[in-house]
Amino acid sequence: MRRIYFLLLLLISNLVFAQNTANKNFAGSSPDFTRCVNMQEYELLLEKQDPTRKARRDSAVKVINEKIEQQKQDHKAEATQYTIPIVFHVLWNSATPAEKISLAQIKTQVKVLNQDYNRLNTDTVKTPAPFQPVATSFHITFCLAQTDPNGNATTGVVYKQTTATAFSYTNNSAKYPFQGGDTIWDPNKYLNIWVCNLGGGLLGYSELPTMPLDNTYGSVIFYEAIGDSGYLPLAAYNLGRTVSHEVGHLLNLHHPWGDDGGLCPGSGGTDDGVADTPPEGNGNNDSYTYNASSNGATFGCPPFPYTDNCSTTSPGIMFENFMEYTDDNCMNIFTKGQYAIAQAVMSGPLLNLVASTTCNPPNGIEEYLFSSSISIYPNPSSGKFIVSLNQENSTHNTIEVLNLLGQTIVKLNTDKQNNTIDLSGEQNGLYFFKITNGTYSIVKKIMVLR
């Protein structure tokens, strides 16, 4: 009996710490799953495991805050375009074949990231009118890496068979081969996302940035919550928003309620540090809260407006924010304040990552002369590009334009020196020009920006 009692206490404490089981069957939600961990408590756990982490984290926070202040002083109106290469580490056990999710499904997750972070998601129409003025794009293009750490071609997805049946956030086991995980690729060149059977009813967890970046920096995602097409048995989490949420943490975004147990800013509670996300502490003890002593998170998909103990009048809390715990089909907005933080991160702790060229395929040295003879301008462009080939290399060329999913959207066989490629009908973002002459093939990155 003593042993059983101890195990019960251990289980209860784990559930409280991770916030990873809901005790209500929310309408439209899958019970017993939670989006994320308590970021305050998870950071304390990481610092306990590595006493040197706090100094790196403090350094990152200092730089981020300085960058935000500089943005305010500069009154920047222009939007910097960022590119972030991703590598997915898919850990799968042969006893559960569904864990080996397809490349096609992973590509839909990249599509979702590009939509959500550029406000191109089709459900922006669901953003309530009072919140629309603060909604914004982050101007980030995510892509699957095409060059691996050894300079070889890659799909941006690593499949690793494992004997592990489940992985835990408490020991970051997905990131260590000796625990059945997979080694991180250089976090200064790749955004690492591990996909696995994440235990405890948890959909995902991430680390906040440090300076320098830790060798565990990245997100871990439950394999049933990747993308918006494929194997997605959880009805409430089948639109890829778990990854959108977790990447937000990698950009130093916090949960809107501050992970403080339901308190309000000014009354002993913490905040997410974002002025345009309303104060939140959801202690309503209704069908959209965790329990009678709510941790502050909101679950399911409440009706608008939804008020709580911190935002008591309409429009209430911003439960539609991607950093919430609400269902995928309820999320549709990032704010200008959140973008300011992410922009500071990308010009600070992630400066090397956004400068990485691993979105491009490897380019052999024998192709150098061919590559240097080609120019594409203007770049960026609102849609029309000139591909200029010198006279010696202007015959028998094929020009292809590929999107981030590797799909060919334009193909042209040409013998001309100057060729106009019109992408006016395509969305803003990163594209690749692949130019071949029968012997050599090169790829150049271009940006459509209006």
pTM of the entire predicted model: 0.78
Residues 292 and 420 in one domain: no
* β-sheet bridge partners, residue 384: 422
Strands (E), 290-427: 374-377, 384-389, 397-402, 408-414, 418-422
CA distance 404 to 382: 18
What is the tens place of the pLDDT at every residue in 192-204?
999 999 998 999 9
Contacts of 77 (CB under 8 A, 6+ apart): none
Q: Is residue 10 part of a domain?
A: no
150 domain-assigned: yes
Give the closest residue to 356 by CA, choosing from 247, 250, 249, 445: 445
Q: Are residues 371 and 255 in the same domain?
A: no
Say whether both 232 and 348 belong to one domain: yes
> Which residues are tagged catalytic?
246
Which of 9-23, 146-160, 179-193, 374-388 has the lowest average pLDDT? 9-23
Please tell me whether residues 234 and 343 are part of one structural domain: yes
**Domain of residue 310, residue span:** 20-354
pLDDT band, residue 4 (cuts 50/70/90): very low
Taking 90 as the threshold, does the pLDDT of residue 42 lie above it?
yes
CATH number where 414 lies: 2.60.40.3080
Q: Is the pLDDT of residue 294 over 60?
A: no
Tokens 């006893």 found at = 95
**CB < 8 Å & 24+ apart, contacts of 438-442:** 438/396, 439/370, 440/366, 440/367, 440/370, 440/371, 441/367, 442/363, 442/367, 442/370, 442/371, 442/374
Q: Which tens digits make up the pLDDT trace of 88-136? A: 999 999 999 999 999 999 999 999 999 999 999 999 999 999 999 999 9
User: Is residue 277 pLDDT above 50, yes or no?
Assistant: yes
The more confident residue out of 25 and 62 is 62
Domain identity same for 157 and 38: yes
Identify the helix (H) or strand (E) that includes residue 219. Answer: strand 219-222
